[in-house]
Amino acid sequence: MKHQLILAVLLSISLFSCAKETPKVKHSKSMVTPKENLKNVKVVNAEDPVCHMKTADYLKFTATYKNKEYGFCSAYCKDEFNKNPEKYVQE
Q: What's the pLDDT tens digit per position in 5-51?
A: 676 666 666 555 544 444 555 555 544 444 455 666 788 888 899 99
Q: What is the DSSP letter of 89?
A: -
| Beta partners for residue 47, in sequence order | 54
- Identify the CA nearest to 39 among candidates 66, 13, 58: 58
In SS3 terms, 12-72 reads as: HHHHHHHHHCCCCCCCCCCCCCCCCCCCCCCCCCCECCCCCCECCCCCCEEEEECCEEEEE
- Total-model pTM: 0.58
